[in-house]
Structure 1
Amino acid sequence: MTEQHNSPIKSFFQLFTRPFVLIANFTRHFLLLLVFMLILWFFIGGTRVTLKDNTALVIAPKGFIVDQYSGDPRSQAIDNIQGRDIPETRLRDILKAIKMAATDEQISALVINPDYMWGAGMANLREIERAVDDFRASSNKPVIAMATNLSQGQYYLASLADEVLMDPQGFIFLQGFGSYRNYFKEGLDKLGVDVHLFKVGEYKSAAEPYVRNDMSQEAKEAGLHFMNDLWETYLNGIANRRELSVETLQEIVDQQAQKLIEKNGSVADMALDNGLVDRIMKKSFMHKRIAEVSSFDDDNNLFRGIAFEDYLQTADDSMLDAQNRIAVVVAEGTIMGGEQHPGTIGGASTSALLQQARLDRSVKAVVLRVNSPGGGVYPSEQIRREVDALKVAGKPVVVSMGNVAASGGYWISMTADAIYADQATITGSIGIYGLLMTYPELFKKLGIHTDGIGTTKWVGAFSPDKELDPEFAELIQSNIEYGYEQFISSVAAARGLSVEMVDRIARGRVWTAKQAHDLGLVDHLGGIQDAINDAVERAGLNDNHSVVWVEEQLTLTEQLLVDFMAKAADYIDFSTSPGLINVHQLLQPYQAELNMLLAQQPGQVLTMAHCFCDLKRLP
């Protein structure tokens, strides 16, 4: 064995680099210690919400009221950290805060401020209405609304209060319900685009804008039928609280222009004179009024209040039962194929959430919260099969319909053990259609010609640059009719109705849940809490149970990073440019149409169970 000696050059470099190695090791250990201290600070440090006596809980929704935030949760978290207002408020957070406040002795009043709410479906507004009514009945605490400008949805939310305060420069306008869409046939004809529509049911009008220049008579008839029923629900809700008759309220709506002239153009005076609001006050006086039922804060001449988002941080969920749980899975948005982020229903991703609930031994029953106008046929069927798999596994499934659960939204609901819906829920639209676009005339205009060969007459049948073969069109129509028969047969089997009966009430026709309940398409009229209570009973659980929302989550590493960034953001001013047009708000009315068109793949017919009947887009 020979003894090895370092060369002088090697020894020199070892001696030269040793300090750098020591510095690197020290830096590494220092960073690890710093990370440990930050994690420890996360668990025991940071800003905590403190609640004082005589505090008013403030319900001030921002953006649209939804069942779950839409989009990638990672992007949502970053937006939240940087102080960008997410243009959505979760319904469950509002309901939970109101329920907590009813038994909280430090909360003395409930304040509703709808100024920053962009829109909400009638069913979601009525969920809040039930929560406010329970709060008032169980706590005997006052409910006051303060508002500047009131759109139709904002006014319904404000009207839930015992007292409505309005700014003297405020505005209110009630316009009723309706549906106006753009129709593209003439424009598509000019471009040389041929749209081929295959459908069953004279009321299935979702794709009409691509083949007509106006609304069909059947669509007008069916639309007015359910919208008048919805409008009656709206008027009844306000009339009962404002101690007006429905006839008087309808007269106020019809004669808004004349009544405004009589008050010299003052909307606030017109609203006060007709009993729509209780007091006209500038904001400073509103704060003084609310301080009478709460108190003034310590720093400003404002009432002492806490935003419901902050108030939720005071909740103690440590005593919740972790072994007997009711899982709530949200299906909100257009139904699309594959993996989709929240806000859009993915055939694969939503099925995976239901499967997660099925495999979780602590979950004893599932509530499927559906807020969808439908979408793709196959992804709808994927989700429905997972509902059946839950039932086979011995776990009851109860559906709670939100603002809309129509077409594909009804498809994924129909085989549940029970279906609950608010009387203002829009449902039905049982039917499917196929859409195929070709543009041979456009190619001719451009001087582009198509020619070739094939081994059968079907080669190139889907080619958009060729005219649609009549025999191929018959093939597609036959398949659409088969899909419709499958749909109504499944509804008949699930609902205990004859196929003939389902066909009469289907054919793409839209109903309110109140109408659908009379027709046998819905089991019970009620909200999400009614559905949860039903699931608890079916699972044989007592009061000692908990509710868990199963949805896409951040990983532990991502959550730790986000929480650290959030705490760091307390010391950083992430300012956003004021006055910018919100693109989300501008595009929201057209999102469903864009999603539908983007779903079409080359070489296939866009087969949809979809209904453009969600009235949330109305102000």
Structure 2
Amino acid sequence: MRTLWRIISGPFRWCWRLLNFIREFILNLFLIFIIVICVGIYLQMHLSAPEPGKGALLVDLTGVVQDKPSVNNKFRQIGRELLGASSNRLQENSLFDVVDMLRQAKTDKNITGLVLSLKDFAGADQTSLQYIGKALREFRDSGKPIYAAGDSYDQAQYFLASFANKIYLTPQGAVDLHGLATNNLYYKSLLDKLKVNTHIFRVGTYKSAVEPFLRDDMSPAARDADGRWLGQLWQHYLDTVAANRQITPQQLFPGAQAMLAGLRSAGGDTAQFALANKWVDTVASRVAIEAEMTKAFGWNKEKKAFNSVSIYDYQTPQPPQKGGQIAVIFASGAIVDGPETPGSVGGDTTAGQIRDARLDPEVKAIVFRVNSPGGSVSASEMIRSELEAARAAGKPVVVSMGGMAASGGYWISTPANYIIASPSTLTGSIGIFGVINTFEDSLGSIGVHTDGVATSPLADLSITKALPPEFSQMMQLNIENGYQNFITLVGKARNKSPEEVDKIAQGHVWIGSDAKTNGLVDQLGDFDDAVAKAAELAKLQQHHLNWYFDEPSLIELLLSQASASVYAHLPAMIQAFLPVPSAQVSALFSMQAGAFPTLNDPQNRYAYCLTCGDVQ
């Protein structure tokens, strides 16, 4: 019997020992991996980089540029070097880090010029492009040349390239100037076919965020309003680029028919067409362009390329911290209740940062950078009230609006002492709505029904039942009250009566220049102007900035970078069936701002601009 037991139990004992060995082996490997990572991070942070030789700063931006990347640039750079680069089109870059590096290079004796290599640059909102363009113009005005070289340029890439002294294009290349458009999906017919009942509660003639649930196309009012600000945004683009190229906006973009005729005259050669239109200065092969760059910057035998340093390897010394402290707090993305997640503004997180700045005696003023299409009313009010408390505590608050500060994004801006917007900022959209879907007809069509008892109609709420009429009426009253609160807040902040605000509200989206005319903002400018105004209001002769970022933990960084790296190396067909790595969600959000599945207002009330972030 004992022999039989040994025969039976033997394989199990060996399997258990093997499992223990595998477990300990994996844990030891993981421990070694963590030690190597920690040593690498220590060396990156504490060992100074060697002094670079003279050459160009290579602005080889990859991915998108945002106000607030989901991962701080320093940590992302370490992860990139240790774990490999993530997908180029999903990488995020800090707008302010890019501008700081350009300004540092302007006075760096080792940087003799700048080369724009933008093939992997996926874009940014127009306000961000203008701010980078300002830094490029400063660099060029310092006497150092800027060259742009590329196989092709899309509109965002070409906007930056237009600041160059000379633009190169390869013979098979093209400059893609086509204009701007907004497109949204509309679901009414789909919802009808699925027998989903959508209950809409809203205030605002132009509040188009709910139209996808009500229509199969854009309403005339929304079409008229969006067409106005979209045309102004495109005109700003043309005016800036045409001025850089020293031609008229009409010469830059003569219209679709004229461009078709010009391309036909060029025999379909897009490169020669761009040269004839003065979009570029030289059409040349990569070899010829590299020879030109070598003449300008010299040859590096080790790298086998012209002398240059990538913007990702360029080291910028930290300026000495002098004078009073100005806190810089971000609201980038859709506004949601709870903590911040990538691509969103967490009401709890942002309100907490404002509170910390208010209670910090070293902070003398706050610059609140808003780049948001809005979101939850309750989260917006939480942030607004905390900002109001900071102002009441004697700390000046200046709002710097980015590409969009609409609906809830404007709500949270109202307590500011001063609001500064770019001419291209999309703001306003002062309106409010609620959406509740019920599925009683969908379930009924397949034989599923809901029944029960309740002490009152208000207790009998379920997505599987029709909404009680009493609740629908209460919901509409709640939405109307929210709208009145909204326009009252705006009126108090902008010294207008609620009636005056109502005339420019109703969900109407305004471009920055119109918002200034309508009194919704105080000044047209950029982030630099906001910092200068904050220093002026706080009466600071000298100041330094304290950037409020939530730094990721080491584990979060490793998991984020590793998942992005694995995702980037998978075949495209497999990527299509997998979720995007969480650290890259905010990059996609800027391109898909029309979707708002994560909004979570407890009363289902939203101040949100659907089309503000969907410009292509």
TM-score by shorter chain over 0.5: yes
Over residues 302-349 of structure 1, what are the superposed CA-to-partner deviations in whole Å (9 max), with x where a residue is unaligned? Answer: 2211112211x2x2226223x622111111000000001343100001
* Deviation of the 1:182 alpha carbon: 0.9
**How far, CA to CA, are the matches of 2:127 and 2:252 in structure 1?**
21
Change (3 A) 1:615 1:236: farther
Instruction: Return the offset for 1:72.
Output: 9.7
1-side partners of 2:614 and 2:505: how far apart? 23
Matched with 2:318 is 317
Question: What SS does the corresponding residue of 1:197 show, helix, strand or coil?
Answer: strand
Query: 8 Å contact 1:443–1:465 — kept in the other structure?
Result: yes
Give the counterpart of 2:138 among 134, 139, 153: 134
Query: Hey, what's the Cα distance between the residues in 2 that align with 1:517 and 1:496?
Result: 14
Contact 2:169 2:271 in 1 (8 A): yes
Contact 1:405 1:425 in 2 (8 A): yes
Report the counterpart of residue 519 of structure 2 in structure 1.
Answer: 520
Most deviating of 195-204 and 300-309:
300-309
Cα distance in 2 between the residues matched to 1:529 and 1:428: 22
> For residues 156-197 of structure 1, what are the alpha-carbon distances to aligned partners after superposition, in whole Å with 9 as ceiling and x for unaligned?
111121211111111222221121111101001111101111
1:252-301 Cα distance to aligned partner (Å, 9 max, x none): 55533332222122111110011101111222222222233322223255
| Structure 2 unaligned blocks of 5 or more | 1-31
Partner of 1:99: 103
Which has the larger displacement, 468-477 or 213-222? Answer: 468-477
| Structure 1 residues 579 and 154: alpha-carbon distance in aligned structure 2, compared to 1, 3 A threshold | farther
Q: Percent identity?
A: 36
The residue aligned with 1:511 is 510
- 8 Å contact kept, 1:399–1:419: yes
Of residues 279, 284, 292 in structure 2, which corresponds to 1:281?
A: 284
The answer as to whether partners of 1:295 and 1:304 remain within 8 angstroms in 2 is: yes
Instruction: Show structure 1 runs of 5+ residues with no match.
Output: 1-30
Structure 1 pair 43–598 and aligned structure 2 pair: CA distance change class (3 A) = closer
C-alpha contact 2:357 2:366 (8 A) present in aligned 1 = yes
Residue number in structure 2 paired with 1:611: 609
Aligned to 1:109: 113
Cα distance change, pair 471–102 in 1 and its aligned pair in 2 (3 A): same
- CA shift for structure 1 position 79: 6.1
Q: Partner letter of residue 271 of structure 1?
A: A
Change (3 A) 1:454 1:75: farther
Q: Of the candidates 265, 270, 274, which is equivalent to residue 268 of structure 2?
A: 265
SS of the residue 1:515 aligns to: helix
Distance 1:389 1:50 in 2: 47
Q: Distance in 1 between matches of 2:379 and 2:172?
A: 49
Instruction: Describe the shift of the 1:438–1:275 C-alpha distance in structure 2 as closer, same or farther (beyond 3 A).
Output: same
* Paired residue type of 2:607: A
One-letter amino acid of the structure 1 residue matched with residue 212 of structure 2: P
Partner of 1:551: 549
* Corresponding residue number in structure 1 for 2:180: 177
Q: 1:16-27 alignment to 2 at 5 Å?
A: none
Q: What code does the residue aligned with 2:123 have?
A: G
Answer whether contact 1:142 1:293 (CA < 8 A) is retained: no
Q: Is the Cα contact below 8 Å between 1:123 and 1:402 reproduced in 2?
A: yes
Maintained 8 Å contact 1:144/1:163 = yes
For 1:292 and 1:575, how far apart are their aligned partners in 2? Answer: 40
Q: Across the two proteins, how many residue pairs are aligned to each other?
A: 569
Asked if the contact 1:145–1:161 (Cα under 8 Å) also holds between the matched residues in 2, the reply is: yes
Cα shift at 1:444: 0.7
User: In the alignment, which residue of structure 2 is the partner of 1:232?
Assistant: 235
Cα 1:208–1:520 shift into 2, 3 Å: same
Secondary structure of 2:313's aligned partner:
helix
The alpha-carbon distance between structure 1 residues 296 and 79, as it changes in their structure 2 partners (threshold 3 A), is closer
Asked if 1 retains the 8 angstrom alpha-carbon contact of 2:375 and 2:607, the reply is yes
1:96-495 aligned within 5 A = 96-137=100-141, 139-251=142-254, 253-311=256-314, 313=315, 315-317=316-318, 319-321=320-322, 324-460=324-460, 462-495=461-494
CA deviations on 1:559-585 (whole Å, 9 max, x unpaired) are 9x97xx99xx9xxx9996276358569
1:358-412 deviation line (CA, Å, top 9, x unaligned) = 2222221111111100000010111111111111221111111101110001111
- 2:432, 2:72 → 1: CA distance? 30
Cα deviation per residue 1:94-113 (whole Å; 9 max; x = unaligned)? 10011101111111112112
Show structure 1 runs of 4+ deviating over 4 A.
37-41, 43-47, 71-80, 573-576, 581-591
Give the secondary structure class of the aligned counterpart of 2:296: coil
Deviation, structure 1 residue 598: 3.5
Q: Which residue of 2 aligns with 1:4?
A: none
> In the TM superposition, what is the alpha-carbon distance from 1:468 to its structure 2 partner?
2.3
Report the CA distance between 1:490 and its aligned residue. 0.5
RMSD (CA atoms):
3.1
Of the structure 1 ranges 211-220 and 85-94, higher mean CA displacement relative to structure 2 is found in 85-94
Amino acid at match of 1:467: A
Find the residue that maps to 1:255 and give its secondary structure.
helix
SS in 1 for 2:343: coil
Please say if residues 117 and 150 of structure 2, whose CA atoms lie closer than 8 Å, have aligned partners that are also in contact.
yes
Structure 2 CA distance, aligned partners of 1:453 and 1:574?
Answer: 53
SS at match of 1:597: coil
Alignment partner of 1:382: what SS? helix
Asked which structure has the greater CA Rg, the reply is 1
Partner AA of 1:609 in structure 2: A
Give the Cα separation in 2 of the matches to 1:447 and 1:106.
76
Structure-2 change in CA distance of 1:576 and 1:593 (3 Å): closer
Tell me, in whole angstroms, the C-alpha distance in 2 between the residues paired with 1:391 and 1:145: 45
Q: Is the 8 A contact 2:129 2:160 kept in 1?
A: yes
Q: Report how far residue 593 of structure 1 moved.
A: 4.5
